[in-house]
Chain A
Amino acid sequence: MKINILGAATTRFGELWETSPRALAREAMSHALKNADLKPQQVDALFVGNMLAGILGNQGNLGSFFAEELGVSVPAFHIEGACASGGLALHNAINSILAGQHKTVMVLGIEKMTDFNQEDITSGLMAAGSDEERQAGATFAGIYALMAQAYMQQYNVSEELLSSVAVKNHYHGSLNTKAQFQNIITIADVMKSTRIADPLKLLDCSPISDGASAVIISSENIGDVSNPVSITASEVATDTLALYQRESFATLSAVTRAASKAYSKANITPSDIDVAEIHDCFSIAEVIATEDLRFSKRGEGAKDIAEGKYTLGKGKIITNPSGGLKACGHPVGATGIKQIVEITEQLRGQAGSRQVKGARIGLTHNVGGSGAVAVIHILQT
């Protein structure tokens, strides 16, 4: 069965203090419907990806909460998998279609983070970690910093080389009017930014953001079908909740396993990919991802990024044309769906000044926790 993307839309990401979660959801879903040329009554079910509404906002029952905003009383579900909540919601929406339960499904990814202070957010995000990590006083920046230390030692890579991830993604973000940050930065800017968890500095870290993204998928060809994009693989893998229990700290096994299955399901190889949205929650995450996805050889991800192999106008596989989590922003539950929206626009040739020329095959890489869950999607024209 073919899973088509009928509509895709995202709000602007950023510090949206004047916008409520309901308003964010309404904007993303109504624009996705308009994009698909569909009416709310044509949607059979709603899947919502969100991590923090229950933890920070004391708001549960999100399926019904957001179905109310969609304006239809359809079956609605909340899926949580930390920062991979969006990707997991899409995976489950696809499964519901494959199971024959629904034909056309709306998937909403949403997060409202800037209503809360930084310490509350840092603690809230640690709900995705293990009890031992929380008792140790680890933060997510701290856990990715442990990966960065391990990676830098194993492959003799410098902090400057890691910085090139943020430089590339800010350049891409500067071409995206929906991005939280649209300014160009230099390696020197990253190097002199505030230290968060050694060796990671402020500009190695994705920001705290608000935003919502929505896609409508279907087994049918309805609405506007002039520019078809379909999902040819949706794979999930999990690993231990905590990093310290793993054999290696310089790779995420859940990513390598989910990606292998996805490549084989879509019957493609990594070099067939034209454009990818990567979960660069911290600079080290994109470096490791380029290797786990088999775009770069082990130990060469940072060098390849610094040399422009993944930069618009220079590279063959373009990573994070949206600006990634670093520059586009990271409203955690929305990120996995925003990645799908970006790749859809790229494959439709509608990405404007950040268009990857001739893009036909795209990939999204959405990770929850410190690699405890990974969701890989492959999209094709």
Chain B
Amino acid sequence: MKITPVKLWRRQKHVASLIGKTGTLLQWTVIRVPAKTFVKEAPYPVAIVKMDNNEKMIGQLVDWQLSDLEKGKKVIAVLRKFTPEDAESVIAYTIKFKPHENY
């Protein structure tokens, strides 16, 4: 996937506006054979999350345990690095979801 500085700049306001928003797990899978960018992270869960405002989002789950993978599990949107392994590239950030304990 091509990551260009201009694309990141355009996207960053939207990404920032999502930090700290909460929702619940609707559906998930554990990806064991990933695309190129994510080889070092596999296996990892990808989930469809129903946000508290009823919008749906898709995102990677971080800081997770097997017991977190259940329908209705509360999650919170956090900012995490998302970048290809290329020292010359701009570091990109995206929203991932973390199990939310204080709920």
Please give the residue numbers on chain A whose beta carbons come within 8 Å of chain B beta carbons, in ascending order. Answer: 118-120, 122-123, 126, 132-139, 141-142, 145-146, 149-150, 153, 194-200, 242-245, 249
Contact = CB atoms under 8 A, between A and B. Distances in A.
B20 interface: no
Interface in B33-70: 33-39, 41, 44, 46, 48, 56-60
Interface in B63-103: 71, 82, 94, 96
B48 A137 contact: no
Contacts of A249: 27, 48
15 contacts: A119-B35, A122-B34, A132-B58, A132-B59, A134-B35, A136-B60, A137-B31, A137-B34, A139-B35, A142-B31, A146-B48, A197-B32, A198-B29, A199-B29, A244-B56
A196 B56 contact: no
A145 to B, nearest CB: 4
A149 B28 contact: yes
Interface in B1-40: 1, 27-39
Nearest to B61: A136
B33 A196 contact: yes
Contacts, number: 88
Q: Lowest 5 A-B CB distances belong to which pairs?
A: A145-B29, A119-B36, A123-B35, A137-B38, A244-B58
A195 B32 contact: yes
A135 B61 CA distance: 12
A76 B32 CA distance: 41
A139 B58 contact: no
B27 A137 contact: no
A135 B82 contact: yes
Contacts of B1: 123, 126, 134
B37 A142 contact: no
Contacts of A146: 27-29, 46, 48
Contact of A197 (B27, B30, B57): B30
Contacts of A126: 1, 35
Given A132-B58, A146-B48, A242-B58, A137 B35 contact: yes
Given A136-B58, A149-B29, A244 B48 contact: yes
Task: Give the residue among B29, B39, B60 with the most A Cβ atoms within 10 A.
Answer: B29
Nearest to B50: A244
Contacts of A244: 48, 56-58
Contacts of A135: 59, 82, 94
Contacts of B71: 153
Contact of B36 (A122, A142, A194): A122
B24 to A, nearest CB: 14
A79 B74 CA distance: 43
A137 B81 CA distance: 12
A137 B57 contact: no
Given A146-B46, A243-B58, 10 more contacts: A119-B39, A123-B37, A135-B82, A136-B60, A137-B41, A138-B46, A198-B29, A199-B29, A244-B48, A244-B56
B18 to A, nearest CB: 11
Contacts of B46: 136-138, 142, 146
Given A122-B35, A123-B36, A245 B29 contact: no
